[in-house]
Amino acid sequence: MDALTCPRCDSEMEIRTLGTGRVSQCPQGHGVFLERAELGNLIEAETDWHRNAGQHTAPLPRITPDMTAPPAPKKPARAWVETLFR
User: So what's the pLDDT on residue 9?
Assistant: 92
Q: What is the pTM of this model?
A: 0.47
pLDDT of residue 52: 73
Q: Which residues of the chain have pLDDT under 70?
A: 1-2, 53-61, 86
What's the pLDDT at 53? Answer: 66
Query: What pLDDT is attached to residue 12?
Result: 93
Between CA 32 and CA 54 the distance in angstroms is 28
Q: Are 14 and 5 in contact (CB under 8 A)?
A: no
> Which contacts of 28-32 are long-range, i.e. CB under 8 A and separated by 24 or more positions?
30/6, 31/6, 31/7
